[in-house]
Amino acid sequence: LDELKASIAEHGILQPIRVHDEGEKGFRLIAGECRFRCAKELKLPEVPASIVSGLTEDEILAEQLCENGQRKDIHPMEEAEGFDALRKRGKTIEEISLAVGKSRSHVLLRLKLCDLLPPARKAFYEDKMSLRVAYALARVPSAELQRKAWKELSDRHRHWGGDAAIEQFLRTQFTCNLEGAPFDRRDATLVPAAGA
């Protein structure tokens, strides 16, 4: 923000912010939050804006996610929560993927982060946990097991020896290893009632 503020102080805002005209409620910021914050700090009397109207909540959210996705500094959890908001509004993975310009696998991976319990999510937001460890912890299959895994990690966090060791620990201690299963894991008819 300091670099952006210095640039705006010298050159002004070169790309207008984008706002939605909400009638009597005023304007709702869609894109350009950093530029807008810098302008406020610099006490600029006006800010160039591109004004749109008639957008649905889904369209506004998708636009905000696209804007955020183009930022280099967006936190993966923030992106995941945005995708989750669209999913809760009834969007399919494919629709989210198209709306935000990301691959289906990227959207699915990010959505997995929403399975993190609140204390783990908070630690991840505060950069006390890497993305790799966050994914491994989010894959722990139940809230109860994830709570136990989180406690183990929290109690001994200084003695792990890196992300690979933590990932291995979570995989071996808190997920089901099917490598020695007495059935063919690739059998599409393993559970006939479930379908292929």
- Please give the positions annotated as active site: 33
Could you give phi then psi for residue 172, rounded to 5 degrees? Answer: -80, -30
Q: From 51, 38, 47, select the one nearest 1 (Cα to Cα).
A: 38
184 with 151: CB under 8 angstroms?
Answer: no
What 3-state DSSP class applies to 28?
strand
Side chain identity, residue 1: L
Residue for token digits 């969007």?
Answer: 91
Q: Are the C-beta atoms of 35 and 13 separated by less than 8 Å? A: yes
Q: What is the largest CA-CA distance in the chain?
A: 72
